[in-house]
Amino acid sequence: MNWTIFHEQVFPIRHKLYRFALRITGSVHEAEDVVQEVLEKVWKTAPDQTENVQNWEAWCMTLTRNRSLDKTRSQSLRRTAPLDGLHERKTDLISPADAAESRDLAAGIRKMMQELPEKQRLVMHLRDIEELSYDEIAETLSISLEQVKINLHRARKTIRERILEK
């Protein structure tokens, strides 16, 4: 690994890796450890292996997912962490009542997302929060493009139905 690639391609996505690790592990400390381990692994990767990497973000997300799942399985942690990293956009044009309603809706959606099956939750997080493309999600989660679309559709449909029930 050379410094230029690491500095330009890998280091800027460290926050995204952290949010993804936090989503899987449910622990701030575990997520920090995962990201540190992934960054260290990427840095220590042999130069002949780095030549084959076409999408650094997808590769790092895959490493993060795998390491997070390993930590979760080995320590039997539950995924219960909310999406603390999400901050609502604030503008002066929103009334306090509208802002409170938006906060309540966002909190409700975060709770609903926690209740989704794992694949749906991960796909929805990567698409709607991390804004990865379908291809990047498929590569990150090692699933087909069709499965990405199916899981995302089902997740969004479930959330939509639960919102309309209220």
Q: What is the pLDDT of residues 73-97, one digit of tens each?
A: 776 534 444 455 444 444 556 788 8
Is 112 in the same domain as 55?
A: no
Spell out the residues 6+ positions from residue 16 whose beta carbon is closer than 8 angstroms to its own.
57, 61, 130
Element (H, E) at 165: helix 145-165
| pLDDT at residue 77 in the model | 36
Residue 96 vs residues 89, 91, 110, 140, 166: alpha-carbon distances, Å: 13, 11, 21, 39, 22
Q: Is residue 27 part of a domain?
A: yes
| pLDDT at residue 15 in the model | 94
Is 101 in the same domain as 125?
A: yes
Segments forming the whole domain that contains residue 31: 1-79
Of 55, 79, 103, which residue sits at a domain end?
Answer: 79
Question: How many structural domains is the chain composed of?
Answer: 2
pLDDT tens sequence across 137-155? 998 889 999 999 999 999 9
Is 65 in the same domain as 102?
A: no
pLDDT tens sequence across 99-149? 888 888 888 888 898 899 999 999 999 898 888 889 989 988 899 999 999
Is 116 in the same domain as 165?
A: yes
Is 112 in the same domain as 149?
A: yes
Is 65 in the same domain as 34?
A: yes
Is 59 in the same domain as 115?
A: no
Is 74 in the same domain as 2?
A: yes
